[in-house]
Structure 1
């Protein structure tokens, strides 16, 4: 028994070391290399800076105006990173990577507790292989924080239901409280539904069982963690922040498609399938595996979490790839558990067709990326970067080769390794090189710090982050014209589509640049002499 424990501890130590090494290599080396350009990234990064500069931990602002999009949990961590590393791209994303690693470790520890060492390792391998998961940990957005909080909370409440250890139910409520401080009601609504449905599924829904969850103490913990800030921001903004956040960015976002982020009914399912490549090609086999192991409570709970998130965000009218991501650790449980069973030869079905599908998909990616880059004017000269994506079909081929040879574990490692290698190359060279061509980067040299900076109707918020100054925004040409007469040395940012409205201003275009992978064209205008 002692020898077995020593062997198990050594294996556990090796697994954790491998996980940490891979995560650090994937998340940190190129974290600050890509410019802050994506709209959400820029607004979040600048909002945190404005709060820090004012010494204000309560009211979020962007461009010195109230920002009601998100609560401040991620802003707090960005401010901390700014104080440590200075205001830069690396600092804005630093804690996203930290929380990403935290999610990997939490997933490993809870999976090991209920499924064993090697299954837990395969489960985390699935997450490390997901380019979508890795991408999210490279962005200055609240989602990495929410993914950690919701997944940790759900793992914890499941553990409490299995063991009755109260520390886990307290951890659950703590994660819910911080989750509300991170992204609002979704952090309590979806986990609450999952716990309710799980009790119904297990035929354990009763007043006695609900009381065992200590709901009153739990509510007190949640309120203690979340309510003070919500009350403070309500008082500081006369209710404007709470009203804007709850109605505009929660209820309206669920009931209608916001900011053009709608889509057809199955879009969320497609997001998840794409996000879990390469191993989502084994979806049929994984579903069969879930059915075969349905009596395992951890598998059953993970399947329930996966279905609830899928259905919830399928019903939502606003659809974005990051919305179902708090369930990613639970999808990984299902895929990783199947992969371990298959490589342990507990599953005897043929895997030839999934590998053929994977190879075809991976072969199509470099070709598709070549034409996408070639037909995107700002980056058409970078189309040859698509050659790097040959790593995908090579990995798929090697996976199929090892499968044919009967080396099943090597087959999984080859496919997984190719995606991790591609992620390292992508975030180290391809992604930064492509996004360096964005119009904000290319036009910054034209923007004189001493000249008044104005915008008409819409502009990229990356200008705020890199210039560290407010941009005076106009929605009316008459007001803009009056301003330019007083300040003829102005610099104006707008969109080419709004040019007809700007004719009366008497300005000339000095820069024009198409937004990368977007239809708008950013323009910079100055007074026409």
Structure 2
């Protein structure tokens, strides 16, 4: 009995996006702040005003907090619960990409588009994180797919699905979820010569705007009212306008930053991207290919121009980049194109270089030397590249493509089962659990690693002066969390003892726990 491709895609999605999502703690800064924020909202019965360490947090709108709160209600406030719906969003993103691509370009292209997406290590990681990006990616792409389906089929149900999806994306990340899809829609209509009054009228823009306002405005208004408008000022002025017009938190980069991130993020199939983009442009009469080219270009250019740059920023266009690559790979496996020896050769080089480079790099870094044998997690890429080379030489291109995908899919899963737990065991918050601080009164002076708050699941107050520190530490069973920049000042306190000291693996921070 032949298994339908949609079942294969679903099973792979579950395996990839849920891989050991329970097996390592919440430690990354953004993940810790988002996970704790949702926990505090649930604890306080507050559905609108986000807080971190019980102070206003203006970074993100609240949609992902709602999903996390629901998950906490079922599973408890754990790492698995915080990440649960992020993984679900990954599965839905792959399935929707497969479904809509199949409608426009056929089952073969749709299957390879899904495989391209599932093979991406960046996507595997992203849909494991308790952050708003997985929700933004899914709802943004559902809205863009629905736009094309509604426009081509003239079915109003897809039109309203588009407006609802984009509205939910706005509640996940903000106005960027309207601006970039809106620009994509406009350019598509212009370049396909459909920017006509009859089309504009059919798009029911006034009704769509009203529907968006009805979904979005009450939430933003409530956030403003409950925070004396501080949330709106912080979110729109600092975290939207500020991020675009200036470099924030040191996250900058040159004009090649975003293209390089995208090529790295979509390995191994991004090795075909120049050829794939050229072929997609040749066949741009296919509506989905034209839309995909526009979408990828809009996101890439916008975030290249933006002063603040992060690897996550172009991710909402990855499903459409996967469609471009999937279209090329499908036709390559049908032997419509040449054997692509250059791209396959680079893949073989990666298969050799990744485990070797990983082992040497980890061995030479004193912070990560204990993980050097974890570099064996790259071996699936080595085997995949070897099989792909042999299969290409034999002309079995479809099996070669499967070998390429399998190598990176297994690598992604291996990272979650082996690499991330190994890192987690050596992060300062995990290490500090040996002190058994549950019944200890805690405060911090200087800097606090955000993961401490989610790990303790209680408020850790900030102390502002040495006198406050002295008064606090006079309390029985009290401990102070601090960091390297403040420790020399604290050492001047008579009788102070350092109970814990550990350097963060990724940030230039050393966590201390001190007391009398």
Cα deviation, residue 453, structure 1:
1.1
Q: Give CA deviations for 1:285-330 in whole Å, capped at 9, x if unaligned.
A: 2122113212212101101000000001111111111111111100
Partner of 1:464: 453
Partner of 2:319: 329
Question: Is 1:129 aligned to residue 119 of structure 2?
Answer: yes
Verify the 8 A CA contact 1:435 1:516 in the aligned structure 2: no
Partner of 1:7: none
CA distance in 1, matches of 2:50, 2:289: 40
Distance 1:518 1:183, change over 3 A: same
Distance 1:477 1:373, change over 3 A: farther
Partner of 1:91: 81
SS at match of 1:346: coil
- Give the alignment's TM-score, normalised by structure 2: 0.96
Partner of 2:479: 491
CA distance in 1, matches of 2:148, 2:467: 58
Which one of 417, 421, 432 corresponds to residue 443 of structure 1? 432
CA distance in 1, matches of 2:477, 2:71: 36
CA distance in 2, matches of 1:447, 1:270: 44
Question: Is 1:340 aligned to residue 330 of structure 2?
Answer: yes
Distance 1:478 1:430, change over 3 A: closer
Q: Give CA deviations for 1:18-46 in whole Å, capped at 9, x if unaligned.
A: 01111111222411101110011111111
Cα deviation, residue 485, structure 1:
5.8
Q: Give CA deviations for 1:81-130 in whole Å, capped at 9, x if unaligned.
A: 11111111111100001111000111011000000111111110101111
SS at match of 2:481: strand
Partner of 1:418: 407
CA distance in 2, matches of 1:456, 1:371: 38
SS at match of 2:218: helix
Which one of 253, 258, 265 corresponds to residue 268 of structure 1? 258
Partner of 1:155: 145
CA distance in 1, matches of 2:362, 2:436: 28
Partner of 2:490: 502
Distance 1:469 1:486, change over 3 A: same
SS at match of 1:294: coil
Structure 2 unaligned blocks of 5 or more: none
Structure 1 unaligned blocks of 5 or more: 1-9
Verify the 8 A CA contact 1:156 1:171 in the aligned structure 2: yes
Distance 1:496 1:376, change over 3 A: farther
Which one of 504, 507, 512 corresponds to residue 515 of structure 1? 504
Partner of 2:356: 367
CA distance in 2, matches of 1:260, 1:371: 28
CA distance in 2, matches of 1:375, 1:264: 28
CA distance in 2, matches of 1:243, 1:220: 24
Verify the 8 A CA contact 1:398 1:411 in the aligned structure 2: yes
CA distance in 2, matches of 1:505, 1:270: 49
* Aligned positions of 1:48-67 closer than 5 A: 48-67=38-57
Q: Give CA deviations for 1:60-92 in whole Å, capped at 9, x if unaligned.
A: 101000011111101100011111111111111
- Give the alignment's TM-score, normalised by structure 1: 0.94
* Aligned positions of 1:161-240 closer than 5 A: 161-240=151-230
CA distance in 2, matches of 1:258, 1:499: 27
- The two structures, once aligned, show a CA RMSD in angstroms of 1.7
Q: Give CA deviations for 1:410-449 in whole Å, capped at 9, x if unaligned.
A: 0000110111112222211222122221100001232533
Question: Is 1:524 aligned to residue 501 of structure 2?
Answer: no
Cα deviation, residue 378, structure 1:
4.2
CA distance in 2, matches of 1:521, 1:101: 37
CA distance in 2, matches of 1:449, 1:113: 55
SS at match of 1:323: coil
Question: Is 1:304 aligned to residue 294 of structure 2?
Answer: yes
* Aligned positions of 1:239-318 closer than 5 A: 239-318=229-308
Which one of 111, 124, 141 corresponds to residue 101 of structure 2? 111
CA distance in 2, matches of 1:488, 1:136: 43
Partner of 2:27: 37
Work out the number of aligned pairs and report it: 515
